[in-house]
Chain A
């Protein structure tokens, strides 16, 4: 197997090879910071270039989910724009309330879901509407219901992740928030700034200038400038289309173009009008001319649709999942008291960790053994000493007794000799007691 690699060690174009693929194969160590990533060129077709197709098939089978939220004052054309974006009438035309009807007192949150399909790809689209935002006399805390709604969606996702059976996770987190700005021509209103400040860390913010057919070109350009300056001044983070290094020029140019038009000045319409060249297009008919929604010269609707649907839908979803949700999760877990123990991650390799543990354990055992030995020795010494002592005592006693016995014996011997030599036992009283003494003994 190694011959085909070894044959072209010198790097000459070898004519012995059947295919025309590049024969060079010198293992090059990639020295830019990584330790030893070896890049090899292939001699023939292996087939893992098919992986994207497999992913594609699987995703198409699974279907996609996307949730967008539209926020803005009434009458800015939110429902119309949503209908225009997805080319379906998601929102029925609004019935204006009769003057006698009860007006709601707080911002409501309504969501509409739809399953739409295009070329075999299914999308479950959810649009969350916030009627009543900015319509009251006192709009304090009108962003609260919205923030709570977004957080509750994060909450429910977190809960699903922590379940025992995680096979079916439904992702209804808000992936993008379209914020509608009134076309005043001045800078942002207080309400706009407050709202954006509170939401830019929780959701992808995409600011939109609504009803942009009210303004002339110069006014639009100036207005956009002012809005961007305002946003930067208040450190609000709006969604930026990310660029990657290995993309081709076309994509990069497209991304730049989209980025240059933020905030998008859009016009929405689900009605058809006649364009100057006679075609029927979506637009609005005025006595002085018709605005075409799909015409890039007239408004930025095409760019918005590109950003939201055609190019960056997946980016939005990913950013929501990887960054916004993770930040929120970290905050929440830290606030719940789950501490992060960073020393656990010193040795990543589990085998080595086990080895380490074993070594530690053995060391412990050895230590215990030594200790026990010492104690044992000590005890033995003690006992020995004690025994020795008693031995000596005994010996002494033995000697004593022996001496005593000797003495007794000597005494008795003495007595015996005396008796045998006829001497009286006691020198004075021997005659009288001799006969008796004899009997007496």
Chain B
């Protein structure tokens, strides 16, 4: 245990935080999100709601003669949002058509492949002899997994996909269109989902590591109590009490998206942007990317050794 010394007079190295901030503000931040879930659950709408801007369009099939979209058409949409001088470069990857076919075997493969490809591209850039100073980070930092609000339990396809995803990316499960569940039903459904996830040993973000302090552990614990987030998304504004808020208006009432009693959107947004944004980016780099990297390099080494061993034998 190294001794902590107190300097006799003010040195001034505590301004390093401001220096870093200044540098980082110039560079801007990068955040990549992928949304996965069956069609029609409001994925695009939710993203637009979280970032309070129209970032992506719904990819649903609206016309009868349009063919059903394939999951292989995965594309990223890039946007830059600025808030208080902080530049955030957002990459949103939307996956249309997951689980839409009659036979959905292997519909998750393109998604997993896409995620791994991003890791692979980053690794390649890292390993080149002449590499850029700041490598553009397209690795997916967070995956929002949408669950259909059936009120019963997870569907078999959901379990399989979540399991595969949680091995390569941070998965945050979300119950979509939760305005179809009464508060009672919601609680029961969430408890059931948590049970099922525990049963199938699916590791969800946030992870606890040894370095975390007491309050961080507590924060993570409280997040784990709320997961999966039961949300409602809306881009339209409705008038409640003279104020314009985002919500959905029906004949029997108005759902206020930002009201914590109505849905857990606020919790999700705070979690994603206000408390755990940095942590998500870091965990991706430190845990998922490292795992991928070590596997790749070991495989490469074996690949190099075996032909060399074969050559010496001859």
Interface residues of A (CB under 8 A from B): 73-76, 94, 96-100, 103, 135-140, 142, 182-187, 189-191, 194, 211, 213-214, 216-217, 226, 229-230, 232-234, 284-292, 297-298
Minimum CB–CB distance from A252 to chain B (whole Å) comes to 28
**Nearest 4 CB-CB pairs, A to B?**
A75-B150, A289-B253, A184-B40, A186-B60
How far is the CB of B71 from the nearest CB of chain A, in Å?
A: 13
Q: Smallest Cβ distance from A315 to chain B, in angstroms? A: 28
Q: Assuming the A-B contacts A135-B155, A189-B39, are A290 and B102 also in contact, with contact meaning beta carbons closer than 8 angstroms in the complex?
A: no
A137-B160, A187-B61, A288-B255 known; A213 vs B249 contact (CB < 8 Å): no
Does B199 contact A100, Cβ atoms closer than 8 Å?
Answer: yes
Does A285 contact B64, Cβ atoms closer than 8 Å? Answer: no
Chain B residue numbers with a CB within 8 Å of A136 are 156-157
Main secondary structure on B side of the interface with A: loop
**How far is A75 from B66 in the complex, measured between Cα atoms in Å?**
28
Chain A residues, CB < 8 A from B248: 216
Cβ-defined partner of A140 (8 Å) among B62, B66, B103, B152: B103
Cross-chain contact B262 with A137 (CB below 8 angstroms): no
Interchain nearest-CB distance for B22 vs A (Å): 45
Instruction: Check if B102 sits within 8 Å of A137, measured CB to CB.
Output: no
Known: A286-B252, A288-B255. 8 other contacts (CB 8 A): A74-B152, A75-B150, A75-B152, A96-B152, A139-B103, A182-B148, A291-B252, A292-B252
Q: Given A135-B155, A138-B103, A287-B183, is A217 in contact with B64 using a C-beta cutoff of 8 Å?
A: no
Cα distance A212–B233 in the bound complex, in angstroms? 16
Given A103-B156, A139-B104: A289 and B261 within 8 A (CB)?
no
B177 on interface, CB distance cutoff 8 Å: yes
Give the dominant DSSP class at A's interface.
loop
Q: Which of B58, B102, B105 contacts A191 (CB 8 A)?
A: B102
A216 to chain B, nearest CB (A): 6
Whether A97 and B153, one on each chain, are in contact in the complex, defined by CB atoms closer than 8 angstroms, is: yes
16 CB contacts below 8 A, A to B, read A75-B150, A94-B152, A96-B152, A137-B105, A138-B103, A139-B103, A184-B40, A185-B40, A187-B62, A217-B250, A217-B251, A286-B179, A288-B255, A289-B252, A289-B253, A291-B252
- On whether the beta carbons of A286 and B152 are closer than 8 Å, the reply is no
> Size class of B's contact patch?
35 or more
A287 to B260, CA, bound (A): 10
Given A139-B104, A216-B249, A287-B183, are A184 and B156 also a contact pair (CB < 8 Å)? no
Within 8 A of A (CB), among B139-177: 148-153, 155-157, 160, 177
Interface string of B252-289 (1 = CB under 8 A from A): 11111001011000000000000000000000000000
Complex alpha-carbon distance, A94 and B150, angstroms? 12
A184 touches B39 (CB 8 A): yes
* Cα-based distance from A229 to B148 in the complex (angstroms): 25
Q: A285 vs B252: C-alpha distance in the bound complex, in angstroms?
A: 10
Q: A99 touches which one: B62, B155, B196, B253 (CB < 8 A)? A: B196
- Decide if B68 touches A190 in the complex (CB within 8 Å): yes
B249 to chain A, nearest CB (A): 6
B87 on the A face (CB < 8 A): no
Given known A96-B192, A190-B68, contact A137–B250 (CB-CB < 8 A): no
If A75-B148, A96-B152 touch, whether A286 touches B253 (CB-CB below 8 Å) is yes
The docked-state distance in angstroms from the alpha carbon of A285 to that of B60 is: 30
Are A184's CB and B60's CB within 8 A?
A: yes
The answer to the question of B195 belonging to the interface, with a C-beta cut-off of 8 Å to chain A, is yes
Q: Are B160 and A140 in contact, with the CB atoms below 8 A? A: no
Partner of A190, one of B63, B102, B157: B102
